[in-house]
């Protein structure tokens, strides 16, 4: 028995279900089988209001009649690729368990373990509702596609289309992303900007007849690395703002021709004092300044966009960006979460994500209180060593039951597990 709940009863089922999810290599765009597996698990548990939306997200609702709050429990179904298989000590999609109860594989920490725990919390809540427990607010479970590769592609569809169409709203969103058992309250914004410089082609044996677009990029690179980067501000909670260049392409980029186009990708992490518009306008000012110094300098800046397609065939142009979000530490939902976790003996320190998560949509764009929580280790996400533990899976179920119990003022000692 972990803490106050008798969650050990569900241990074998929870572990097997987690293994089942990990064994399906659901890289972004290939979540179909995981979605179907989750859908079946929920429906078999009697969660009849469960469906898969147009983009392929799985949603399941336990309805309540009361004053609320309405709660969303969220996770993503996709994983990043395994990378070089020979670097793994365990099968990346094997979900093997060692003698210490550690489960290895891609997605164990980020975040099929967390998803499995949420699903089991939903099943247990449903069981208790069927036995007469009264919930004052709706619980909406959602497992979304495309968190890893596309910026909020699945989550945006859920929040802007699927839930509004059903008239569903929520007062708080919990993300079972790996947070090392911390209550994570935000992350820096991230955006990929594309800067292009233009020149004039010429035979490369006579470069003086052309304008080399790569040469025109040099002052831009110089400004980024020597002027902008060292002077970016830092934030007490979210950390250091940053800028770096992740790619550089010349076109035509073939033999014997001076390139007339050069394109760089700029990764910019930003703080709540900035917006996408302010970042773009800073770059525009810089390019204008460079043009004034050299009237053959011709350049453009924009946010990277591309078309993404979900496994259901739905296509959309997405921007490569995650807005910044930051919850107040003394927000009532944060305080209630801390209270709930300490009631079951779990530490409840405040933390922040280093990378981007779908809270960028709920908190960053929609201003809905959002909290990240799972015992899995964030630093293992996307690595060859990715793992979680049976203990973490059980603790996460317990933590989520405690959080919901506390928010809904339920007598958690009355929870039934069988």
Provide, rounded to whole angstroms, the least separation between the CB of residue 363 and Zn ion: 15
Compare residues 111 and 220 and give the one whose CB is closer to Zn ion.
111
| 124 scored as a contact of Zn ion (CB under 5 A) | no
Nearer to Zn ion, 148 or 261 (CB): 148
**53: contact with Zn ion by CB under 5 A:** no
| Candidate ranges 15-23, 106-114, 195-203, 292-300; the one touching Zn ion (CB under 5 A) | 106-114
CA 307/CA 319 separation, integer angstroms: 9
CA distance 222 to 85: 38
Kindly indicate which of the ranges 174-182, 284-292, 308-316, 364-372 contains the residues binding Zn ion, using the contact rule CB under 5 A: 174-182
Query: Residue 407's closest CA among 1, 49, 11, 121?
Result: 121
Task: Work out how close the CB of 373 gets to Zn ion at its nearest, in angstroms, rounded to a whole number.
Answer: 13
Of the candidates 150, 238, 237, the one whose C-alpha atom is nearest the C-alpha of residue 188 is 238
Least separation in angstroms between CB 371 and Zn ion: 15
Smallest separation, CB 355 to Zn ion (Å)? 8
Q: Minimum CB separation from Zn ion for residue 148, in Å?
A: 7
Helix axes 390-407, 113-130, angle to 10 degrees: 50
Q: How far is the CB of 239 from Zn ion (least distance, A)?
A: 19
Instruction: Decide if 369 contacts 327 (C-beta within 8 A).
Output: yes
Q: Is 261 in the site for Zn ion (CB under 5 A)?
A: no
Task: Tell me: does residue 77 bind Zn ion (CB under 5 A).
Answer: no
22 touches Zn ion (CB under 5 A): no
C-alpha 146/C-alpha 28 separation (Å) is: 5
Examine residue 155 and tell whether it contacts Zn ion (CB under 5 A).
Answer: no
Contact 343, 400 (CB under 8 A): no
Q: Shortest Cβ distance from residue 111 to Zn ion (Å)?
A: 5
Q: How far apart are CA 150 and CA 320, in angstroms?
A: 7
Q: Name the one range near Zn ion by CB under 5 A: 35-43, 111-119, 294-302, 383-391.
A: 111-119
Q: Of these, 35, 73, 111, 191, which contacts Zn ion (CB under 5 A)?
A: 111
For Zn ion, the closer of residues 68 and 355 by Cβ is 355
Q: Are the C-beta atoms of 329 and 349 separated by less than 8 Å?
A: no
**Interface stretch with Zn ion, choices 88-96, 103-111, 329-337, 405-413 (CB under 5 A):** 103-111
- What is the CB neighbour count within 10 angstroms for residue 177? 26
The alpha helices in 45-141, defined as continuous H runs, are: 113-130
- How far apart (Å, rounded) are the C-alpha atoms in residues 286 and 296? 15
Task: Determine how β-strand 139-144 pairs with β-strand 350-351.
Answer: unpaired
Q: Minimal distance in Å, beta carbon 380 to Zn ion?
A: 11
Q: How many residues sit in the footprint of Zn ion (CB under 5 A)?
A: 3
Q: How many CA atoms lie within 13 A of 316 on its CB side?
A: 19
With both helix axes pointing from N to C terminus, report the angle between 11-22 and 32-44 in degrees, rounded to the nearest 10.
160
Q: Which stretch binds Zn ion (CB under 5 A): 109-117, 135-143, 233-241, 255-263?
A: 109-117
Q: Which of 110, 151, 358, 398 binds Zn ion (CB under 5 A)?
A: 110
Name the residues that contact Zn ion, by CB under 5 A: 110-111, 177
């Amino acid at each position: 028995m972990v803490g106050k709940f008798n969650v050990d009863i569900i241990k074998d089922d929870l572990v097997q279900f987690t293994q089942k999810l990990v064994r399906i290599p659901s890289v972004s765009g290939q979540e179909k089988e995981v979605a179907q597996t989750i859908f079946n698990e929920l429906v078999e548990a009697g969660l009849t209001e469960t469906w898969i939306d147009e983009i392929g997200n799985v949603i399941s609702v336990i309805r309540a009649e009361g004053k609320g709050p309405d709660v969303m429990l969220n996770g993503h179904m996709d994983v990043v690729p395994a990378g070089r298989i020979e670097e793994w000590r365990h099968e990346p999609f094997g979900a093997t368990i060692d003698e210490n109860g550690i489960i290895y594989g891609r997605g164990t920490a980020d975040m099929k373990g967390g998803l499995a725990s949420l699903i089991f919390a939903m099943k247990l809540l449903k069981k208790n509702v069927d036995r007469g427990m009264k919930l004052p607010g709706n619980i909406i479970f959602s497992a979304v596609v495309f968190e890893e590769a596309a910026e909020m592609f699945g989550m945006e569809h859920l929040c802007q289309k699927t839930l509004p169409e059903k008239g569903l709203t929520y007062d708080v969103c919990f993300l079972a992303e790996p947070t090392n058992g911390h209550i994570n309250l935000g992350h820096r914004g991230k955006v990929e900007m594309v800067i292009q410089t233009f020149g004039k082609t010429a035979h490369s044996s006579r470069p003086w007849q052309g304008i080399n677009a790569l040469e025109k990029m040099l002052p831009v690179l110089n400004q980024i690395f020597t002027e902008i980067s060292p002077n970016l501000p830092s934030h007490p909670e979210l950390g250091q703002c940053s800028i770096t260049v992740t790619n550089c392409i010349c076109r035509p980029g073939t033999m014997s021709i001076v390139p007339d186009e050069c394109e760089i990708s700029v990764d910019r992490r930003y703080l709540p004092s900035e917006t996408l518009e302010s970042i773009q306008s800073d770059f525009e000012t810089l390019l204008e300044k460079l043009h004034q110094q050299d009237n053959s300098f011709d350049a453009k800046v924009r946010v990277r966009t591309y078309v993404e397609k979900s496994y259901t065939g739905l296509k959309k142009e997405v921007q490569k960006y995650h807005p910044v979000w930051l919850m107040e530490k003394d927000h009532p939902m944060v305080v209630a979460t801390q209270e709930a976790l300490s009631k079951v003996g779990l530490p409840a320190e405040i933390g922040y994500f280093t990378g981007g998560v779908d809270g960028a949509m709920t908190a960053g764009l929609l201003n809905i209180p959002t909290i990240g929580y799972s015992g899995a280790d964030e630093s293992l996400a996307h690595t060859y060593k990715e793992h979680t533990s049976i203990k973490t899976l059980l603790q996460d179920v317990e933590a989520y039951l405690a959080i919901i119990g506390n928010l809904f003022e339920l007598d958690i000692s009355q929870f039934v597990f069988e």
